[in-house]
Structure 1
């Protein structure tokens, strides 16, 4: 597990090639988010005291954990959404590197600092370049959906890259610029007339909202929404904004891809939640949270194995001829769960034919699973 010579980048590219029909509506849907991986133990690579904004009342807001930034492919699998992890990075804060912490060193060398936004850009560019000429739509929350991610990736990939995110209530929106033949003093205008903040427009146009039927969170739902193409000053470009109303609450979604319909914007952003579910599966079902690895190479290798195991499970589910049956019935849920796929794989692993693919380890020190992954790369 502590080998430092495993070619993970090539292994990941092989995994990407195994995904059947990765496009959704002619584009790659890439979900971007970060999570924490709580640990117990002092000298664990990439561990630090981090702020957990989602901590419950009975949990510490500053747990001892690893901070992970990950990108996953959102894909419909047997009628439901799934998140196939494609890459990740450990985020180590600048203060930890400045303090020369032992938890921020690989082979006794300090890890070069990268912000979460820089890590996100590198992952999005790397994955997108593996799928040349395929349009890419990155779905992210409002923290990542800003100019620091949009501009570098757009500059590298060109017009085939777009983002879908959520607006904050105080974001100011402008009309599109209308060219005027009048000669005026000063610099030419870049934006049209100020419309108002996201919250102001939500109240102003609630009466103009229309009803839409969307597939959201595993159910067919009726939602009320209003959309408008405006200029977002923070991105310096035109975006389509969709205000979604529900009872007394509302949210504002935006995308730089003006060809997306209101239904697609709502459904694609709703599918973003699957990366959150993927983090839970990764930590609780696959076991990344309970791992006792300490050294950098072992920690990196173990998390790579965990992410690949999750992705391969979804690929296996996608290639099944019949839809997996849900073992534990839940009211209102008819589609299968991730645990159902793992159960099917476990049954297949007990089959005699499985030994031909993954032979039992002999006296050789090479782990059979590592050997299979390396043969895939070759």
Structure 2
């Protein structure tokens, strides 16, 4: 990911030569993009796409650089100026518009990290020197401070757990109703029985377990038979 300062055709080509995809913002400069045989600016490309003015993602278009590198440019609404738009470029043509915007939005975390490191953790100001080892040591110390603070923040303030894994499991459990859960449990138990039709002792134990269940639970198994 990169901002508009770095998103230029020569750098994009060099990164793609190393098989590295790029997502970055581009601004209306002198860059031109090939579309339907014409070299067009960003504004000219924006005028050609079908737009949904009520959506934050206005539309996208596939183009090429003058050197022939294939790109996808997504136009989004500028939240600070509803009459304006922003352009996000990527070399990964397999991504849909929403995913491109979501990934690029992660840059905000990088920006806040550098802001904290420079303004509060004294990155680049705590030590002065020209030794490469000294600069690496200083940077490592600053980054370690940030990691400790971020760990404390996550533990005390952030409701996420394991990168959202908790909520994924919570959604899965919520979507699984009691009747379905019990049916899956019964199917799982039956699959564990070796030689299902001949294992009468195990089936008898299973029948005893079912008969001991409360009536409102047994009613959920009206269509389920161990013999099946």
SS at match of 1:298: helix
1:310 is aligned, of 135, 139, 146, to 146
SS at match of 1:259: coil
The 5-angstrom pairing of residues 174-323 of structure 1 reads 174-175=34-35, 192-194=36-38, 196-205=40-49, 208-210=50-52, 223-233=56-66, 236-246=68-78, 247-294=82-129, 296=131, 297-311=133-147, 314=150, 316=151
Alignment partners' CA distance in 2, 1:249 and 1:308:
40
SS at match of 1:286: coil
Give me the TM-score of the superposition, normalised by structure 1.
Answer: 0.36
CA contact (8 A) 2:32 2:42 kept: yes
Following TM superposition, by how much is the alpha carbon of 1:163 offset from its aligned partner in structure 2, in angstroms? 0.4
The 5-angstrom pairing of residues 55-74 of structure 1 reads none
2:14 is aligned, of 147, 152, 155, to 152
Structure 1 vs Structure 2 CA RMSD: 3.0
Alignment partners' CA distance in 1, 2:12 and 2:62:
18
Alignment partners' CA distance in 2, 1:224 and 1:154:
26
Alignment partners' CA distance in 1, 2:119 and 2:111:
12
Higher helix share: 2
Alignment partners' CA distance in 1, 2:6 and 2:84:
23
Following TM superposition, by how much is the alpha carbon of 1:266 offset from its aligned partner in structure 2, in angstroms? 1.3
Following TM superposition, by how much is the alpha carbon of 1:147 offset from its aligned partner in structure 2, in angstroms? 3.8
Alignment partners' CA distance in 2, 1:251 and 1:200:
14
> 1:21 maps to what in 2?
none
Alignment partners' CA distance in 1, 2:17 and 2:33:
23
Give me the TM-score of the superposition, normalised by structure 2.
Answer: 0.56
The 1:317–1:145 alpha-carbon spacing in structure 2 relative to 1, beyond 3 Å, is farther
How many residues are aligned here?
155
CA contact (8 A) 1:195 1:201 kept: no
Alignment partners' CA distance in 2, 1:142 and 1:277:
18
Higher strand share: 1
The 1:317–1:155 alpha-carbon spacing in structure 2 relative to 1, beyond 3 Å, is farther
Structure 1 residues not aligned, in runs of 5+:
1-138, 176-191, 213-221, 327-333, 336-378
Larger RCO, structure (CA 8 Å, separation 6 or more): 1
The 5-angstrom pairing of residues 355-366 of structure 1 reads none
The structure whose Rg is larger is: 2
Following TM superposition, by how much is the alpha carbon of 1:312 offset from its aligned partner in structure 2, in angstroms? 5.9
Alignment partners' CA distance in 2, 1:290 and 1:223:
40
2:3 is aligned, of 141, 164, 171, to 141
Structure 2 residues not aligned, in runs of 5+:
161-228
Alignment partners' CA distance in 2, 1:233 and 1:199:
17
